[in-house]
Amino acid sequence: MSYQFDFLAVAREAPELAAGLARTVELTAVACIAGLLIGIVGAVCRAWQLRPFNTLFAVYVEMFRNTPFLVQLFFLFFGLPTLGIDIAPDSAAMLAMVINLGAYAVEIIRSGIEATPKGQIEAAQALALKRWQIFLHVVLRPALLRVWPAMTSQVVIVMLGSAVCAQISTEELSYAASLIQSRNFRAFETYFVTAGLYLALALLLRQTLLRGGGRLLKRGRP
Amino acid sequence: MNDFTLGDILLALLHGLQWTAILSLTAFVLGSLGGLIILALRLAHRPALVWLAKTFIEVFQGTPLLMQLFIVFFGLSLGGVEIPPWLAAALGLTLYTSAYLAEIWRGCVNAIPNTQWEGSAALALNRYQQMRHVILPQALRMAIAPTVGFLVQVVKGTSVASIIGFVELTKTGGMLANATFEPFLIYGLVAAGYFLLCYPLSLYSRHLERTLHVAR
């Protein structure tokens, strides 16, 4: 075979990759927290059928779960400026990730809330817990605990999906890869190493969220 | 403003939508075959084969689809052969689909109670016969809803193929947006196109989930 692999050409660009990786982590962290908040609010509106928000959230969920993330990203980044709203690549990427994850989170958390046994709520009422106490400790926390593995998978999927954000010049990990391969002309090696970094990040993220989230949600419980 | 009428735009987008549908179907059909092979490896009684299947699934579920397409695209052209975007897109999406379907189906096979294995073993069926006549027919029933649900992910995934230059719905939209300076309208229509493909599939998947659960 005539082709000589040169992974050193990629290793030399480690700082570039590290900077991209940091940006990907940053975007994912914001998406995770904000997406979770949207998910909780939306799930409550859907599960308790609070009008008109339950319908609004239903439309939001269906719209964003049935269109590609890339198109949502383009719509925000290229479409909004025509309405007079200028948006930076980083903000567009962040916004798109938050909205996208939020849509999935609503459905995931809703299924958790709806799985709350009726007897638990009745028992909490019998113990004279206030409404917000019941919601927080009897409904929400167990619901999040139930769906946490699904939520974790979705966060990982959104993190991996963020690789297309380079298309609107957000300087995340895949952007760094594109930049590097345009300098060293080693496209295969560069993307191979970058894919490896994504894989490591995905495994790490999954472990961290599963362990950390589980511990946080179980804290103070017998 | 420009020479494009709304009719021209819709026609071009419809053409793109057609390629999105073709790529989705190709990836789904070939990915189902690939998924079956990976599933067979995953359920084999040889540790090496199980490891191979696990690694395959882990790698394709743990890396971005975009990186997979890039690696296939640039990897295949290492030998100096220029490969067309549609081939790289179809191959990349097929591998991606195989990994996810294998994992979904494995979940269904695992959900079959152990007593079914034991019962069929007691009837002196060998492993292939157990699979063929007892486990798979039941697992298949469970697998239909999540498989249709995953088809939505495949359709959405094909949009990434636009980045390696395959002209489907998203790419067509991008070219039109550049030509007409109406990105809001164009990307809105592109999103509507995907919605038209995906929403019925989502509804159907949910319907199947409900009816198949009741019947069990």
Q: Confirm whether A2 is domain-assigned.
A: no
Judge contact between A205 and A159, C-beta under 8 A. yes
Q: Per-residue pLDDT tens for A39-78?
A: 999 999 999 888 899 999 999 999 999 999 999 999 999 9
Mean pLDDT by 10 residues, chain A (222 residues): 78 90 96 96 92 94 96 95 90 96 96 93 93 92 94 96 95 94 89 96 96 86 64
Residues of A in contact with B188 (CB under 8 A): 75, 79
Q: Confirm whether A167 is domain-assigned.
A: yes
Q: Per-residue pLDDT tens for A7-18?
A: 888 888 889 999
Q: Confirm whether A56 is domain-assigned.
A: yes
Residue of A27, A63, A66 to mutate when probing chain B, most B C-beta within 10 A: A66
Where do the domains of chain B lie, and which CATH numbers do they carry? Answer: 6-215 (1.10.3720.10)
Q: Confirm whether A1 is domain-assigned.
A: no
Query: In this model, does residue B144 exceed pLDDT 60?
Result: yes
In chain B, % of residues over pLDDT 70: 97
The ipTM (two decimal places) reads 0.91
Q: Confirm whether A3 is domain-assigned.
A: no
Query: In whole angstroms, how far apart are CA A100 and each of A60, A159, A172, B147?
Result: 10, 11, 18, 22
B113 min Cα distance to partner chain A (Å): 22
- CATH of residue A162's domain is 1.10.3720.10
Determine the residue of chain A that is closest to B177 in CA distance: A78
Contacting A residues, span 159-188, partner chain B, CB-CB under 8 Å: 160-164, 167, 174, 177, 187-188
Contact A192 B71 (CB under 8 A): yes
Contact B65 A160 (CB under 8 A): yes
**What is the domain count for chain A?**
1
Residues of A in contact with B177 (CB under 8 A): 74, 78
Alpha-carbon distance of B176 to B52, in angstroms, equals 44
A:B CB pairs within 8 Å: 124
Judge contact between A188 and A12, C-beta under 8 A. no
Q: Which domain holds residue A26?
A: 8-218
In this prediction, residue B213 carries a pLDDT of 66
